Each structure stands twice: as C-alpha cells, then as structure tokens.
Amino acid sequence: MPNPVSSLAANQAELSLAERFAHTRALMESLVEPLSDADATVQSMEDASPAKWHLAHTTWFWETFLLREYGREYAGGAGGYRLYNEEWPFLFNSYYEAEGARISRFSRGMLSRPTLGEVLEWRAHVTRAMEALLDNRALSDLIALGIAHEQQHIELLLTDIKHALFQNPLGPAMWDADLAPASAPQTGEAGWHEHPGGIALIGDDENGFAFDNEGPRHRVLLEPFALADRLVTVGEWQEFIADGGYGTASLWLSDGLAWVRENAISAPLYWREDEHFTHTGWQTRDPNAPVTHISYFEADAFAAWAGARLPTEFEWEAIARGQDGEGLPQAHNAEAGNQLGKASPPLPSGGSHLFGDCWQFTRSAYLPYPGFRPAKGAVGEYNGKFMSGQCVLKGASCATVRGHSRASYRNFFYPHQRWQFTGLRLAKDL
C-alpha cells in the first residue's frame, strides 16, 4: 500500500477501496496536526462539532457498522472484535435512534475526556482492525459508505474548526497563509450555459458509489433556462451591500427578512470591514473570489437583486452531467495544496468549474425522489430522515475531499445555515 499521505492528491478513481480507506483516515488525522487538544475539544455552536468529536464519531461508525457486525474474522480477538471502549458509543453516536441513547448534540464540547491522544490511539486501533475486512467483497458497499461518511466529516471538521477559531478575539490561524492555494479568479461579466429544456434524467447513474438520497434515477421536465458559468463574487456581493440589499424588504423572502432582522445580519458570515476570517486568520478579501458563507435567504435575495433566480437542483445537474468525471478538477479542495505532504487551508479562489470552491444553493427543497427507499438497517437513518425543511446544494467546496462529489450529489442544509462554504451561481429563464 502506498504511503497514504504522499498520495493525498491522487485521483480517487485510480485507488482501490483499501487505499481510499487508508487515504481518508490519514487525511482526517493530518487536519488536526496544527491543533491543540483544547482547539480540538471546543464546540462553538450546536450545529458545529469539535474536531476531536469528528475524529471519534467516524471511528465509531467503523466500529458500529462494520467491525461489531462483521468483525468475526478480526485476527486480534478470538471470538470476534471487541469494542475498544463500551462507554464511548454513548458519546460518539450522532443521531442513530437504532443505535440507542447518546449525549445531546450541544454537549459534544464538554468531552474533555477521552483526550485527543486517546482518540487518535483508538483511531489507529480501528484502522488496523479494519484491514481484515477491506478485501471482503460482500462488504464493499458498506465500506464505500464509511469512506464517503468520513470524507463528509473531513469537510465538517474544517468548517467547524473555522467557526471555533473565529470565536477567539485573537483570530488564531490554523495554517500559515503561504500554504494557501494560488487563486485563479474569474473577472468580467458571467457567461451562461444555455439549455433548451426537455426531459432530463436526474439522479444516481449507478456508475460507482452514491448515497441513497441520489436515487432512483428518474425523469424531470425542464423548461429552457440558462446557468451562469461562474459563481457570484465577493465584489458583486459588496455592490449588493452598497446598494442597500440587506435593507430592501422587497428583495427578501418573508422568513429571510425575519432572519435578517432578528439576527441583525448585514454581511456574509466571517466578514469585518475589508477582511474575512479564514483558516489562516484574518485576511483581506479578494473581490474576484467567489462569495461564501451566505445563507439560502441571502442567496435568494441576491438573485432577486441581480434580476435572476437560483437554479433548481435539476437544472444544475442537467448542466453538470458529463462534467463530473473524477479526473476533472474539483478546484481548490481540501487536498489541493498538499504537495507539501500536508493538508492545506481551504480557500475559494474562483474559475469556471462547476465543482469546487463552494456549495451552491438551489431553490429545490430536499425531498425524496419518486420511488426513494432508505437503505436497509441502521444506516437507513443516514439521509432519508432529514428530508424536511432543508435546501439542496450542488457542486463541492474548497473543503470537500477531491473526488467526493458528482453531478447527482445532494448536499443539504437549513435555509439559515451559513457556516459551510456556501455560495451561489445564478440562473434565469430563457
């Protein structure tokens, strides 16, 4: 097996399941290298989790759904795999009712024990134990799910630690600014991808791993539309602010206006004067970079101000279909800058790619597709039970693991949430 850290930038499609497992485990661990135990333990809000909790929860996932169920072949323990610590599932089960009781979500930051070092030892133990199962073909779908799960938590770890460090008036940097990837911003007017409309095939093409919420594949009728060939920029957002966008009631959804007023929102999250907070501390904003850390409410109001609208998830996917090969660049993602053999600070930098930089809000509600059935067993709770009141986001962000996303991928968040790298791409009717 190649050294997982030196192959961090490798094309996921060329790797075996065992290599992707090792790579993903190592990538998450490399992200906490710059953190102290205290950094990794704090929880800044209910939506965000401590870095240490992400390290542990993804390990709990392998123990619970793979090793506990199928670890009979585990070489290290006669009579099967034994839980590393029987009390820890109560701490690190996220939301699986079928797996029993757990601590409340906003108590995750109270876990000063186990220590970061103990969690890393548990990770090493579970990574080693999993080696006995990685070649088992009957388990490959579940292992692929575990890898995709850990990749989702790599992104959440990055966005959650950013939010935690932001709370500190010292504005601590997690990485040096010179580790950030070079930017290739798109300047000038946006162009448009035009689509004549018609019947589009939407959803999982069953050509590799997909989450259950991406299927089944089905037909959707599209009217003629156009999708912008680049993301909305920081400079354009500054014009929206200068034009009084946050105070112009006619631009806002009613729920959005109430949210703006109650929370005194006047700019994207992480903005102050001409700076924004990043994993490299406070930095001057680049007006040509894509705007990020906005809510659905803000994205919708901006689109109204710009005389456009948000795309539906189906329109976005119809344009993206065929452009999502794993070999295509998913720009500036969590691994883009690690020629140094290290994870690098995620920073959106712009360009004409559909994937990468930021997740893009669609105007589609996160609902089951016709014929949707959640996966069987406890992992059936993974996606389906969250199909209420959330928005679908498409693409991938600068914090998404390379190769993790695809045209049919459906990310989802509530309309007020904006601590992920969220942005927008305009659409219009033709």
Binding footprint of Fe ion on the chain (CB under 5 A) = 94
The DSSP code for 131 is T
**Based on CB atoms, which residue is closest to ligand AVJ, 134 or 157?**
157
Angle at 212 between CA 208 and CA 213, to 5 degrees: 115
**Based on CB atoms, which residue is closest to ligand AVJ, 90 or 95?**
95
- Say which entry of ligand AVJ, Fe ion, none residue 127 contacts (CB below 5 to 8 A, set by partner kind): none
Q: What are phi and psi of 282, to 5 degrees?
A: -75, 130
Write down the least CB distance from residue 147 to Fe ion, Å: 12
Angle at 237 between CA 233 and CA 240, to 5 degrees: 145
Tokens for 322, please give them. Answer: 């065929």
Report how far residue 139's alpha carbon sits from residue 134's, in angstroms, rounded to the nearest whole number: 8
Q: Which residues contact residue 48 at a Cβ distance below 8 angstroms, ignoring those fewer than 6 apart?
A: 156, 159, 160, 163, 164, 419
Tokens for 306, please give them. Answer: 């710009």
Contact 145, 248 (CB under 8 A): no
**Based on CB atoms, which residue is closest to ligand AVJ, 105 or 309?**
105
Report how far residue 235's alpha carbon sits from residue 220's, in angstroms, rounded to the nearest whole number: 35
Write down the least CB distance from residue 391 to ligand AVJ, Å: 11
- Say which entry of ligand AVJ, Fe ion, none residue 411 contacts (CB below 5 to 8 A, set by partner kind): ligand AVJ
- Say which entry of ligand AVJ, Fe ion, none residue 252 contacts (CB below 5 to 8 A, set by partner kind): none
Write down the least CB distance from residue 357 to Fe ion, Å: 24
Tally the C-alpha atoms within 13 A of residue 259's C-alpha that lie toward its C-beta: 17
**Based on CB atoms, which residue is closest to Fe ion, 7 or 94?**
94
Residues in contact with ligand AVJ by CB under 6 A are 149, 152-153, 156, 382, 411-412
**Based on CB atoms, which residue is closest to Fe ion, 57 or 279?**
57
Report how far residue 423's alpha carbon sits from residue 398's, in angstroms, rounded to the nearest whole number: 11
- Say which entry of ligand AVJ, Fe ion, none residue 156 contacts (CB below 5 to 8 A, set by partner kind): ligand AVJ
Question: Which candidate, 112, 113, 116, 95, places its Cα nearest to that of 104?
Answer: 95
- Say which entry of ligand AVJ, Fe ion, none residue 412 contacts (CB below 5 to 8 A, set by partner kind): ligand AVJ
Write down the least CB distance from residue 95 to Fe ion, Å: 8
- Say which entry of Fe ion, ligand AVJ, none residue 417 contacts (CB below 5 to 8 A, set by partner kind): none
**Based on CB atoms, which residue is closest to Fe ion, 94 or 417?**
94
Write down the least CB distance from residue 374 to ligand AVJ, Å: 13
